[in-house]
Amino acid sequence: MLCFPNCKINIGLYVTRKRPDGYHDIETVFYPIIAEAMAGEPMNMQLRDVLEVVNAPVTSLHMTGLPVKGNDSDNLVFKAYHLLKNRFPGIVSGLDIYLHKVIPMGAGLGGGSADGAFMLRLLNDYFQLKLSKPELAEMALQLGSDCPFFIHNNPQFATGRGEQMNDIMLDLNAYCLQIICPEVHVSTAKAFSMIQPKSATFNLQRLPELPISEWKNCVANDFEAPVFEMHPELAEVKQALYDQGSVYASMSGSGSAIYGLFEKGEKGKIKSSIPFKEFYLQ
């Protein structure tokens, strides 16, 4: 059985409180980036991972594409398998797991979280476990704060650690999306340590009421200030997107990916002092 984990972008991101458990409360809008592969398009330009499971005597993880640091046991796909194996020991059996990585890591696009959540969804179907979306989301939270979003995989206004979500009626299909992924790995822990939590300066639930041309005057990502201080070249990419005609540009999550929304048929010609990957979704 095969599936294609997609990524997400954050539209606005406010860090509002440091919690007693060490996590932070946030307010953000998660927006899924789901695009069908175009005929003849190279796999590494599709901005989606590939995940497949096949029956096997012993479970093992096989990875291709972008290199993934760490041991197999630390991979969220492997952890998702063991969550369900422990809950359904008589049903979930051995598998060969194939993961092809395309979504850049450390970019704020949620690729790893998507892989873990899609693995739960895939195994739920593969072994006919009949888990509901709320049950899958609860399990996904054990993998990471962003993971429950990919169980729903539609635009969500998120609070808490990011796991408390409500549907938001937001549709960006009238625009083209250009995503620039510089070869910079941002430390989320370091970025959090440089933020002073405060109340959100804009109610992101109002996004659908606001023309996208006005977002740049109202919507902010609290991570941009500390991350741009650490990596000024990222600020230059964001400004370049605006200079090239982007209607709205922002860093996604804690970075380092920078995206721009353009009118249909338009895109920016971006130059940077550091290497980057570029994805363009029409």
Give the catalytic positions in this structure.
Answer: 8, 146
Note whether 150 and 183 are same-domain residues: no
Note whether 130 and 211 are same-domain residues: no
Note whether 117 and 236 are same-domain residues: no
Q: By CB neighbour count within 10 A (0-12 exposed, 13-18 middle, 19+ buried), where does 63 fall?
A: middle
Domain count, the chain: 2
Q: Against a cut of 0.85, is the pTM above it?
A: yes
- Most confident of the following: 17-26, 27-36, 84-93: 84-93
Q: What is the pLDDT of residues 11-23, one digit of tens each?
A: 999 999 999 998 8
**CATH number of the domain where residue 9 is located:** 3.30.230.10
Percentage of residues in the chain with pLDDT exceeding 70?
A: 96
Residues with Cβ within 8 Å of residue 21, at least 6 apart in sequence: none
The pLDDT, as a whole number, for residue 37 is: 55
Q: Which residue has the higher pLDDT, 37 or 143?
A: 143
Q: How far apart are CA 252 and CA 12, in angstroms?
A: 8
- Whether 99 and 137 have beta carbons less than 8 Å apart is answered as no
Tell me, letter by letter, the H, E, C secondary structure of 49-110: CEEEEEECCCCEEEEEECCCCCCHHHCHHHHHHHHHHHHCCCCCCCEEEEEEECCCCCCCCC
The pLDDT, as a whole number, for residue 180 is: 96
Note whether 11 and 128 are same-domain residues: yes
- How confident is residue 45, by pLDDT bands cut at 50, 70 and 90? low
Note whether 15 and 154 are same-domain residues: yes
Note whether 111 and 183 are same-domain residues: no
Note whether 62 and 182 are same-domain residues: no
The pLDDT, as a whole number, for residue 228 is: 94
- How confident is residue 70, by pLDDT bands cut at 50, 70 and 90? confident
Domain hosting 49: range is: 2-167
Note whether 11 and 134 are same-domain residues: yes
Domain final residue, candidates 167, 198, 228: 167
pLDDT at 35 over 80: no
> If you average pLDDT over every residue of the chain, what do you get?
93
Residues with Cβ within 8 Å of residue 8, at least 6 apart in sequence: 30, 31, 32, 33, 109, 110, 114, 146, 149, 150, 252
Note whether 277 and 252 are same-domain residues: yes
Note whether 129 and 53 are same-domain residues: yes
First to last CA, the chain: 28
Segment 227-242 shows an average pLDDT of 94
Note whether 28 and 73 are same-domain residues: yes
- How confident is residue 271, by pLDDT bands cut at 50, 70 and 90? confident
Partners of 9 in beta bridges:
31
Domain final residue, candidates 146, 167, 188: 167
The pLDDT, as a whole number, for residue 43 is: 54
Q: What is the pLDDT of residues 171-226, one digit of tens each?
A: 999 999 999 999 988 777 888 888 999 999 999 999 999 999 999 999 999 999 99
- How confident is residue 41, by pLDDT bands cut at 50, 70 and 90? low
Domain final residue, candidates 167, 189, 212: 167
Q: What is the pLDDT of residues 88-127, one digit of tens each?
A: 999 999 999 999 999 998 899 999 999 999 999 999 999 9
The pLDDT, as a whole number, for residue 140 is: 98
- Whether 26 and 127 have beta carbons less than 8 Å apart is answered as no
Strand pairing category for 7-18 and 60-65: unpaired
